[in-house]
Amino acid sequence: MLDQKQHIKLPEGSIEKNTTTLNLGPTHPATHGVFQNILEIDGERIVSAVSTVGYIHRAFEKIAERRPYYQITPLTDRLNYCSAPINNFGWIMTVEKLLGLELPKRVEYLRVIIMELARIADHLICNAVMGVDTGALTGFVYLMTYRELIYEIYEEICGSRLTTNIGRIGGFERNFTPAAFEKIERFLKEYPEALKEFETLLTRNRIFMERTQGVGAISAERAMSYGFTGPNLRAAGVDYDVRVATPYSSYQDFDFSVPVGTTGDCYDRYLVRNAEMWESISIIRQAMDKLKGLPDDVYHADVPAYYLPDKKDVYTKMEALIYHFKIVMGETDILPGEVYNAVEGANGELGFYLISDGGRSPYRLHFRRPCFIYYQAYAELVKGAMLSDAIVCMSSLNLIAGELDA
Amino acid sequence: MSLTNERIQQRLTEKFGDVLTGFEEPFGMLTFTAQKDYNLKIMQFLFDDEELRFRFLTDVTAVHYPERKGEELAVVYHLHNFVDNVRLRMKVYTPVASPKVFTATSLYQSANWMERETYDFFGIDFVGHPNLIRILNVDEMTYFPMRKEFPLEDPMRTDKDDEMFGRGGHF
């Protein structure tokens, strides 16, 4: 890329041949993962930008072609690792859609709770890091405590924190423990206070506003053309949320609104994410209330052909042993079919396009990664902006390298 | 009145007739196959038409079917109409010997990287693409790794000396 001649149109009034090529990333501390941006700058003003990706590409789609369905869930963890449970459930729901499975209400509500916790974890990191990138570390420290608490909740439920591998085809691997519910209650009680404090710190902060308002703005038409989804699209004023447009799991049972911005700049993206966190808290509250009227021992659907049986049944019952063997050896019949299933990931529409030929692994699995699709707009967003804006722009887009490269 | 799959199919067949085949609705999503030279015309029609308004390109990808002679590669487009909230899937088959398909970059900005990715993995040559170079793999690569002739190593193989891979050879 570097040896290619760059056709640079200089801004008016600048001295000819006075631009510098600057590599922002892949090891710059503000590029969070591995994003290389080759910027052509005139003084501090960015004249053009070229984005390069692919540094951590690890062939998710190819590996998936060799694995049984339930072994693909751990692969999805590594995509958007800030909100791994949403990826897990997105994939599991795709398989369930293909198989036509119906889940008990309690399982759906539990899933909604976990997905919304994951959304909060993702948004709080994004917004807090945006504060760090503009020079405010305190807010980050305030909120990190609560990401920790969310990870503890995951840990109670599935035993791991970052790469969760949460959920199974048909439900959850085990029931939620009382400690998990206690921690969720604690989160619901404490987090709103912290979020309020965080908002007080940043939202009307003069420096933060100066650094983000009018920076990296994109119109609704351009955003749609670039394939933006999620908070980035909503910040530009397009009211599109997969949870509302095509409800999945049990989102139709919940009452929540979709925050929409107006200008599509970094500040609006920050506001939309903050507002979404409040909505997520409200959804979790509603789900916790709804759970109260339901029997508390249901955590998976009755689908023995796809759901791994209890270990003690495997040792004592012939049927359970057979199903266990068939699932583990990947000999369960998966129906042939073609399905596209989308969920609202933390940074946009997360789609799984699955073609099954009836074999033990997908014939083809394609993953619609929101990050990958809208990162190409970055060059347009920073064109003409200052070098420092390039950093804010990047953090406000919520780019996750794992998902970008897949 | 919201747009139904029947209505979309009717409008498309009125306009393009025999160019479109294989209409079906797996899991409720209207799916059809188009002749490959018409892909851009059809997308333009879907985009411009005031009733159809498919102005959001959700996804572009490809699938390799080695056993289909003369149409080994399928390019799959997912389009979305935000207003009526309808999605559809369009497929275009192309021979692996000359996988040329028109690019959609003039219609949708988002097609740029998605087509580069499809080129990178399947070698689809998107005619008219402004910058058709590899995106996730290294530039020096000479093959297209998602094609079926490059299977992953069999995890059950036994001829491998585990000692060479740090797993200890003998038990």
Q: What does the domain layout of chain A look like in residue ranges?
A: 60-405
Owning domain of residue B60: 5-151
Could you give the count of Cα atoms lying within 13 Å of A334 in the half-sphere of its Cβ? 28
Q: Is B50 exposed, middle or buried (0-12, 13-18, 19+ CB in 10 A)?
A: exposed
Within A100-177, residue ranges assigned H as helices are 105-133, 138-158
Asked if the structure places residue B158 within a domain, the reply is: no
The confidence score (pLDDT) of residue A358 equals: 86
Q: Which residue has the tokens 């198989």?
A: A99
Count of domains observed in chain B: 1
Answer whether B78 sits within 8 Å of A351, measured CB to CB: yes
The confidence score (pLDDT) of residue A369 equals: 92
Nearest to B136 among A53, A224, A246 (CB): A53
In angstroms, what CA-CA distances link B28 with A11, A321, B56, B100? 51, 36, 19, 30
Using a CB–CB cut-off of 8 Å, the residues of A that contact B are 53-54, 57, 59, 61-63, 65-66, 97-98, 222, 224-227, 238, 240, 245-246, 337-340, 342, 349, 351, 353, 355, 363-364, 366, 368, 372-377, 405-406
Residues of chain A scoring pLDDT < 50? 1-2
Q: Give me the phi and psi of A338, to 5 degrees please.
A: -140, 120
Q: Is B23 near chain A, with CB under 8 Å?
A: no
Answer whether B109 sits within 8 Å of A227, measured CB to CB: yes
Within A134-177, residue ranges assigned H as helices are 138-158
Q: What is the mean pLDDT of chain B?
A: 88
The confidence score (pLDDT) of residue A7 equals: 62
What DSSP line would sit under A333-393, residue for residue?
Answer: ----EEEEEEEEETTEEEEEEEEE-SSSS-SEEEEE-HHHHHHTTHHHHHTTSBHHHHHHH
Sequence-separated (6 or more) residues with CB below 8 Å from residue A136 = A201, A202, A205, A207, A208
Suggest the residue from A35, A79, A219, A364 to mutate for an interface test with chain B (most B CBs closer than 10 A): A364
Q: Residue A57 and residue A53: Cα distance in Å, rounded? A: 9
Q: How many residues does chain A have?
A: 406
pTM recorded for the entire structure: 0.91
Q: Which residue has the tokens 């305030």?
A: A142
The confidence score (pLDDT) of residue B166 equals: 62
Residue A304, Cα to own-chain centre: how many angstroms? Answer: 30
Q: Residue A129 and residue A305: Cα distance in Å, rounded? A: 44
Q: Are A334 and A357 in contact (CB under 8 A)?
A: no
Q: Residue B93 and residue B32: Cα distance in Å, rounded? A: 11
Asked if the structure places residue B163 within a domain, the reply is: no
Asked if the structure places residue B87 within a domain, the reply is: yes
Q: Is B32 near chain A, with CB under 8 Å?
A: no
Q: Residue B20 and residue B36: Cα distance in Å, rounded? A: 10
Q: Give me the phi and psi of A80, to 5 degrees please.
A: -90, 90
Residue A289, Cα to own-chain centre: how many angstroms? Answer: 26
Nearest to B109 among A226, A339, A349 (CB): A226
| Pick from A403, A351, A388, A367: nearest CA to A53 | A403
Banded pLDDT at B3 (limits 50, 70, 90)? confident
Closest CA of chain A from B52, distance in Å: 16
> What's the DSSP call for residue B126?
E
> What's the DSSP call for residue B57?
E
Asked if the structure places residue B54 within a domain, the reply is: yes
> What's the DSSP call for residue A203?
T
The confidence score (pLDDT) of residue B161 equals: 62
Q: Does domain A60-405 have CATH number 1.10.3720.10?
A: no
Given a cut of 80, whether residue B162 has pLDDT beyond it is: no
3-class secondary structure, A318: helix
| Pick from A129, A86, A89: nearest CA to A107 | A89
Sequence-separated (6 or more) residues with CB below 8 Å from residue B143 = B150
Q: What is the arithmetic mean of pLDDT over B149-165?
A: 69
Report chain A residues whose CB lies below 8 A from the CB of B113: 372-373, 375-376
Asked if the structure places residue B162 within a domain, the reply is: no
Q: Give me the phi and psi of A79, to 5 degrees please.
A: -80, -90
Q: Is B155 near chain A, with CB under 8 Å?
A: yes
Which CATH number belongs to the domain containing residue B50 in this structure? 3.30.460.80
Nearest to B59 among A238, A353, A364 (CB): A353
Suggest the residue from B25, B47, B59 to mutate for an interface test with chain A (most A CBs closer than 10 A): B59
Q: Which residue has the tokens 């997908």?
A: A362
Q: Is B72 near chain A, with CB under 8 Å?
A: no
The confidence score (pLDDT) of residue A126 equals: 93
Closest CA of chain A from B31, distance in Å: 10
Answer whether A225 sits within 8 Å of B89, measured CB to CB: no
Counting residues of chain B whose pLDDT is more than 90, the rounded percentage is 76
Given a cut of 80, whether residue B153 has pLDDT beyond it is: no
Q: Residue B44 and residue B42: Cα distance in Å, rounded? A: 5
Q: Are A57 and A405 in contact (CB under 8 A)?
A: yes
> What's the DSSP call for residue B28?
G
Closest CA of chain A from B58, distance in Å: 7
Q: Give me the phi and psi of B62, to 5 degrees please.
A: -140, 160
The confidence score (pLDDT) of residue A95 equals: 92
